[in-house]
Structure 1
Amino acid sequence: MELELTALHWLYLLFIGLSILFLILKRDLTILCITGIVLIAYMATGSAAASISGIFTSFMFAITELLSIILVISIISAMSKILMETGINDYMISPFTKIIRTPGLAFWTTGILMMVISWFFWPSPAVALMGAVLLPIALRVGLPALGVAMAMNLFGHGIALSGDFIIQGAPKLSADAAGIPVTEVMAASIPLILVMGTVTTVTAFFLLKSDMKKGKFDSSQNFSQSAEVVKETGKEQLSIGVKRLFAIMIPLLFAANIILMFTLNLQGGDATALIGGTSVLILLFTSIAAHKQKALENTTKFLIEGLQFGFRVFGPVIPIAAFFYLGGGGFEQMIGTSLPDGSTGIVNDLGIALANTVPVTESLGVLTMTAVGVITGLDGSGFSGLPLTGSIAGLFGAALGSGTAVMTALGQLTTIWIGGGTLVPWALIPAAAICNVDPFELARRNLIPVVIGLTVTAIFAMFLI
């Protein structure tokens, strides 16, 4: 039985459209998203009290979903502060400064390393590893912090996560829903990801380089501010020998993390937890070595500063994330009532409705899969929409008699590039937070390259079916 769209679906779709318009106009989304939560909750429950309570419960749901990311970013920030204060950071990055001498080298080196690490451990822990080491180097050679965030984001949450060739979580979900082997999806995704990745990253780099030439970035600002802080606090707490020892041991500890992730098959949240725990230990040992009797107080000070940074960065995103989680699997927990029978979530219902209204031809099938991937990616998960795109690809493939694997791979790629973390603002927060840039500005920077990449990839996919 086909589910009919209700006024609730159309209201949610209206606020999605308004959110996109606000992003284009560079306006804040907080009031808009809170209004959307209230109106949707009232329409679903008919209760003014429930709609007002829905604001708080939706915020709680969003914070719960984002808490692990907030915490690991806060810890990494605290660790980075003490490494900079003691001067250990200078010794850690010195070997890379001999290799990375231009903004272009910084962009591509950061991106490629991020992609490789993300294949094995997924992007969130990779962001923590890469940002702490490569951001200061990139700033020194003139690449803006926003450029570093773009490189980590597009290569990690874009190229690596959309293929997921090593862990194979994404292709497994897609293949199972489409009713085809995982190997077929992975094989079909390789040319699509090559096209998407090449077009998007090259476009992003040239647009960034053009704006740098026009003087739109003060690429030294963040680094100079950090240098001033270090100069004021002093670097003389540790001897040169101890600094060099820490500069060697810290990368070795993170390298051991990578080995443990691989040998123990730690992924996602488990891998992030390992990185976070290691960062806390580094903070403790560095504080003890540098501050000795005052280590207790200074450790607490750095942790507080890190947590303040984390919540300051994530604070504006929580209301927006709450609204878009409303369209995914959190509706019942956030509002306290169920969606109509047969519904799989507001966003998925919209995707299914779109697929059911489009005639089945090769070109229209590809365009529909791209549109469904974009819509389902708006919940910010990247993975929650894969069963839907896979099942629709299976239906289209059966109707056409071919192309199931290509359309499944295209739906997977589109959903993850949009929702996995290159356009939805709260999904790309890890890279933005590590680089201390505005996540909404990062989303706007990614918009044109990703749209161009998706357009070229969709056209290319039509020739593969």
Structure 2
Amino acid sequence: MIHLELIHYIYVAVIIAIITIMCFKKDVVLPCIVGIFIIGFIYSGSVMSSIQILYRAIVTSSKAFLEIVIIIALVNAMSKALSDLGADVIMINPIRKLMLNGKRAFFILGFTMLIFSWFIWPSPAVAFIGSLMVPAAIKSGLPEVWAAVALDLFGNGMALSSDYFIQGAPSITAKTAHIQDPLRIVKASFPLWIVMSSVTVISSAIIMGRDLKKIKNIEKSEIENIDNNSGLGSKIVAIGTPLFFMADVIIMYIFKLKGGDATALIGGTAIIIMCLASIVNYKFKNALGKVPLYIKDGAMFSMKVFAPVIIIGAFFFLGSKESAQEILGINTNGFLTDIGVFISQHIKMSRISVILIHSGISGMLGIGGSGFSGLPLIGTLAQVFSSNVHIDEASLAALGQIITIWIGGGTIIPWSVVPVAAICNVEPFEIVKKNIIPVLLGITAVIVTAIFIL
């Protein structure tokens, strides 16, 4: 029989404070640091030990996320090298020619963003896809705000919530849910992701169609190719890059690579392409100096994204048994684990109530405007709930991941759509106004679906 003590109530109070601070659009790194210190002090009764616990928590979290940080760094370095070479322009130019009208431009722009975001993540993808394709989309009759919506929904929504190739999001969720293979999250998320994405995109397209009917006399012009004076080397790299990644996908399927092995293949491919692009662009002698710069830029980008997640994860790792024992010692079960068992012993929980509670918490975490920051708690809670109710933890974690990232990853939180808004020269609130109804419809549909299939 589990009995809750003061430290459990303090842990819950800190979580509530963190969620509340997120709702007020503030960063939660400092509250997480304070929370770890307080929990460490209550647990150990020593200031010195609590300082050591704070450090161990961050180290434990860093080790869990290290692989993800590295793969994002390498992919970003590759993206920068391709951009400097001009290979990205060559890869996109044929797609730009297909934009004959506003509706077609919306989907072409969106699916191009989806594919590129899967392989290089939305943040770098929006920069060069937006700058190269948005002008063409606007000329074809697509208003700036709907171009921004396309980039946003397909990139920050569809691509980031699935993250099938880089597997940053599934890896974070799996780590904190103590699921060894992130591919379990990927497989579990697929039907939920299809429902969420389909409902959101279709409803958005319907609303866009009504808007386009109201717009008259949009000036259209022929979509021209961008002349970037690219040479034979640039064209070879532009053709070779997608072929390399297609080969990776085939190899993954044939040899059944998954989890860390699949990530290693993508990461190794990215760094090879980065080196080849550097040599083609600068010749071998100058590439010796350029490759380290790309690596540094990629590492800086990755750490900017994940440094807060590491600290936030450090706090939530105290909630689950394995990581809590690594941080505090073997005499703890993990605070959220204890709380979950306590609740199951005193409150009758059903599969439906767990899905609704988990979805509600996921939505609140997303309000903070950083979908990844909420994933450590999502994974931990999925493990806790599934241990007390007959429900697959991977499916529950996948549901939370989808909801959290769709809300917080950059679709309906104004301060998280700023990069897309800047690229398309529209106000962030205008994007949110167009996104909010489709995204909420998608979330409702995915929760209903989860009730039936989980």
TM-score band w.r.t. shorter chain: 0.5 to 0.7
Query: C-alpha distance in 1, partners of 2:238/2:56?
Result: 44
The number of residue pairs the alignment matches comes to: 384
CA contact (8 A) 1:61 1:330 kept: yes
CA contact (8 A) 2:340 2:388 kept: no
Q: 1:244 aligns with which of 221, 235, 244?
A: 235
Tell me whether 1:370 sits opposite 2:356 in the alignment: yes
CA contact (8 A) 2:109 2:147 kept: no
Matches within 5 A, 1:148-187: 148=151, 150-152=153-155, 154-156=157-159, 158=161
Tell me whether 1:253 sits opposite 2:244 in the alignment: yes
Shift of 1:56: 1.5
Q: 2:326 aligns with which of 326, 333, 338?
A: 333
Aligned AA (2:318): L
Q: Output one character per residue of 1:22-81: Cα deviation in whole Å (capped at 9) or x when no partner.
A: 111011112111010001111111121111112221111121111111111111111111
Shift of 1:353: 3.2
Structure 1 residues 200 and 59: alpha-carbon distance in aligned structure 2, compared to 1, 3 A threshold: farther
Q: Name the SS of the counterpart of 1:72 in structure 2.
A: helix
Query: C-alpha distance in 2, partners of 1:135/1:388?
Result: 39
Matches within 5 A, 1:10-29: 10-29=9-28
Q: Output one character per residue of 1:111-163: Cα deviation in whole Å (capped at 9) or x when no partner.
A: 8759xxxxxxxxxx9443787767633553257789646534543564698xx
- Residue of structure 2 in register with 1:286 after alignment: 277
Query: C-alpha distance in 2, partners of 1:132/1:308?
Result: 13
Q: 1:348 aligns with which of 337, 362, 377?
A: 337
Structure 1 residues 464 and 75: alpha-carbon distance in aligned structure 2, compared to 1, 3 A threshold: closer
CA contact (8 A) 1:75 1:303 kept: yes
CA contact (8 A) 1:153 1:422 kept: no
Matches within 5 A, 1:132-151: 136-139=128-131, 140-141=133-134, 148=151, 150-151=153-154
Structure 1 residues 331 and 135: alpha-carbon distance in aligned structure 2, compared to 1, 3 A threshold: same
Tell me whether 1:415 sits opposite 2:406 in the alignment: no
Shift of 1:418: 2.0
Structure 1 residues 354 and 282: alpha-carbon distance in aligned structure 2, compared to 1, 3 A threshold: same
CA contact (8 A) 1:8 1:43 kept: yes
- Residue of structure 2 in register with 1:380 after alignment: 376
Query: C-alpha distance in 2, partners of 1:310/1:373?
Result: 28
Query: C-alpha distance in 1, partners of 2:9/2:2?
Result: 14
Query: C-alpha distance in 2, partners of 1:156/1:425?
Result: 13
Shift of 1:265: 1.0
Q: 1:303 aligns with which of 283, 295, 300?
A: 295
CA contact (8 A) 1:414 1:454 kept: no
CA contact (8 A) 1:5 1:350 kept: yes
Structure 1 residues 154 and 352: alpha-carbon distance in aligned structure 2, compared to 1, 3 A threshold: farther
Query: C-alpha distance in 1, partners of 2:451/2:340?
Result: 20
CA contact (8 A) 2:399 2:450 kept: no
Query: C-alpha distance in 2, partners of 1:357/1:373?
Result: 22
Q: Output one character per residue of 1:370-421: Cα deviation in whole Å (capped at 9) or x when no partner.
A: 3257669966276665565445443xxxxxxxxxxxxx36x75443232478
When structure 1 is superposed on structure 2, of 247-256 and 417-426 the one drifting more is: 417-426
Query: C-alpha distance in 1, partners of 2:351/2:48?
Result: 44
Tell me whether 1:109 sits opposite 2:108 in the alignment: no
- Residue of structure 1 in register with 2:222 after alignment: none
Query: C-alpha distance in 2, partners of 1:67/1:100?
Result: 40
Shift of 1:324: 1.5
Shift of 1:282: 1.0
Q: Output one character per residue of 1:216-250: Cα deviation in whole Å (capped at 9) or x when no partner.
A: xxxxxxxxxxx9xxx9xxx76xx522221111111
Query: C-alpha distance in 1, partners of 2:190/2:121?
Result: 26
CA contact (8 A) 1:331 1:338 kept: no
Shift of 1:268: 2.1
- Residue of structure 2 in register with 1:179 after alignment: none
Structure 1 residue runs of 5 or longer lacking an equivalent are 115-124, 177-181, 211-226, 395-407
Matches within 5 A, 1:72-111: 72-99=71-98, 104-105=106-107, 108-109=110-111
Shift of 1:352: 3.4
Structure 2 residue runs of 5 or longer lacking an equivalent are 135-143, 211-225, 366-373, 422-427
Tell me whether 1:314 sits opposite 2:297 in the alignment: no
Shift of 1:13: 1.1
Query: C-alpha distance in 1, partners of 2:265/2:148?
Result: 26
CA RMSD in angstroms, aligned pairs only: 4.8
Query: C-alpha distance in 2, partners of 1:96/1:427?
Result: 26
Query: C-alpha distance in 1, partners of 2:48/2:205?
Result: 49
- Residue of structure 1 in register with 2:424 after alignment: none
CA contact (8 A) 2:78 2:273 kept: yes
Aligned AA (1:415): A
Shift of 1:336: 3.5
Between the aligned residues of both structures, percent identity stands at: 25
Aligned AA (1:267): K
Query: Which TM-score applies when normalising by structure 2?
Result: 0.67
Shift of 1:277: 0.7
- Residue of structure 1 in register with 2:217 after alignment: none
